[in-house]
Amino acid sequence: MLSWGDARIGNLMYAGNTPVAVLDWEMATVGPAELDLGWFVYLHRFFQDLAELAGLPGLPGFLRRQDVERRYTERTGHVPREMDFYTAYAAIVHGVIMYRIATRAVDFGASVAPENADDMILHRASIEKMLDGTYWDDVA
């Protein structure tokens, strides 16, 4: 099936409460629906984690993984599988993107490279928690 690749709320246009356009297709590929579901859930979690790090409440009850999976199943009849994998995959892909943004800033003299290159990944701690299986324990 066609995977959008950048499934996130910021890439949808609405007329009222109805989606009317899907934007930003440069990461499109062929793959399972879980690729987009994982990205959709993870991108909200990324911004939620940033809000909490800044001492802000964010939207903790919005786009919760179990709610997205349940709603997707109700609407399509397909039960998402292996979502731990697909959300971790999304976090890693996003980490690569964030790493490249950070290295570009270093290349252009806008920042200084840290001693440990892994520190250039803004959400490294979240990725590490996903990989060791503890991330979702801390998420309501």
* 64-91-1 Cα angle (round to 5): 80
The number of CA neighbours under 13 Å toward the Cβ of 10 is 6
Average pLDDT over residues 106-128: 94
**Tens-digit pLDDT profile for residues 33-60:** 999 999 999 999 999 999 999 999 999 9
pLDDT-based confidence at residue 140 (cuts at 50, 70, 90): low
Decide if 6 is catalytic. yes
Strand bridging mode 18-22 / 29-30: unpaired
pTM, two decimal places = 0.90
CB atoms within 10 A of CB 140: 6
Catalytic pick among 6, 24, 36, 49 = 6
Integer CA distances (angstroms), 132 to 76, 84, 137, 139, in order: 31, 11, 11, 15
